């Protein structure tokens, strides 16, 4: 069993829809949770990071963490074609090592 | 502009060859990392360095080597001992544990 599971998709939505992305994990020691966006053939860029359970909002993006269920989510409201990318969840304990999900590829259709 | 640069963008290796991937950062970050990305898999950590002249193996260090002689530079050598080196290689740096900033990547192909 992988330490971090992420549905690979692909996910295709019309412009303006809400995109919902999820990851589950097995290591209860994870404390810090991140979402990265990766455009094709580029390096990932950090979108959101949260500590412990709860919600965090940044513009059209909302990150949720539910530590009791070992489940994290990213929501993208009013999706745009420019949001078409692969989204990677990542998490860590209190050290340098990040554990990544496999990534979900999202296409937003104009 | 501050950032991380990787070169070359594309690299082709013959069987039995060693190749070196370059990673440079001008963000004044202490920590640097090398990851490997394969289709359908998450990023896997090859090596990381928290400070100059010190580095630690990640999850898949076999067949790779690194050096950290300068704060700005963290080159990765893919040796002939790495049996399946075709992948997308990403370098990252951070000033603390959380925000790892990634370079644009090098795509290595074995001929």
Contacts of A44 in chain B (CB under 8 A): 43, 90, 102
| Contact between B3 and B25 (Cβ < 8 Å) | yes
pLDDT band at residue B1 under the 50/70/90 scheme: low
- CB contact set of B52 (below 8 Å; sequence gap of 6+): B68, B69, B70, B71
Sign of CA dihedral B26, B37, A6, A19: positive
* Chain B: closest CA distance from residue A95 (Å): 6
Model confidence at B2: pLDDT above 90? no
Write down the pLDDT at residue A63.
97
CB atoms within 10 A of CB B111: 8
- CB contact set of B97 (below 8 Å; sequence gap of 6+): A32, A92, A94, A95, A96
pLDDT tens, residue by residue, B31-64:
999 999 998 888 999 999 999 999 999 999 999 9
Average pLDDT score over residue span A89-99: 88
Contact at CB, B105 and A98, closer than 8 angstroms: no
Average pLDDT score over residue span A35-42: 94
Contact at CB, A96 and B48, closer than 8 angstroms: yes
pLDDT band at residue A105 under the 50/70/90 scheme: very high
Among A32, A44, A100, select the one facing B98 at the smallest CB separation.
A32
CA B86, chain centre distance (Å): 14
Model confidence at B96: pLDDT above 80? no
| CA-to-CA dists, residue B42 to A8, A43, A94, B81, angstroms | 10, 13, 20, 23
């Amino acid at each position: 069993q992988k330490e971090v599971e992420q549905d690979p998709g692909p996910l295709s939505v019309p412009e303006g829809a809400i995109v919902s992305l999820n990851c589950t994990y097995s290591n209860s020691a994870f404390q810090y949770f991140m979402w990265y966006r990766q455009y094709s053939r580029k390096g990932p860029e950090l979108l959101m990071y949260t500590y412990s359970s709860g919600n965090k909002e940044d513009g059209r993006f909302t990150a949720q963490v539910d530590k009791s269920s070992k489940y994290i989510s990213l929501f993208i409201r009013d999706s745009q074609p420019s949001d078409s990318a692969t989204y990677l969840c990542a998490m860590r304990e209190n050290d340098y090592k990040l554990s990544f999900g496999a990534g979900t590829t999202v296409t937003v259709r104009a | 502009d501050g950032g991380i640069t990787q070169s070359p963008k594309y690299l082709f290796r013959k069987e039995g060859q060693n190749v070196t991937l370059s990673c440079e950062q001008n963000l004044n970050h202490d920590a640097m990392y090398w990851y490997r990305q394969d289709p359908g898999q998450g990023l896997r950590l090859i090596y990381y360095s928290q400070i100059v002249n010190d580095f630690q193996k990640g999850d898949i260090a076999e067949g790779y080597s690194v050096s950290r002689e300068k704060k700005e530079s963290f080159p990765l050598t893919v040796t002939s001992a790495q049996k399946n080196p075709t992948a997308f290689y990403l370098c990252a740096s951070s000033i603390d544990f959380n925000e790892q900033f990634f370079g644009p990547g090098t795509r290595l192909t074995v001929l």
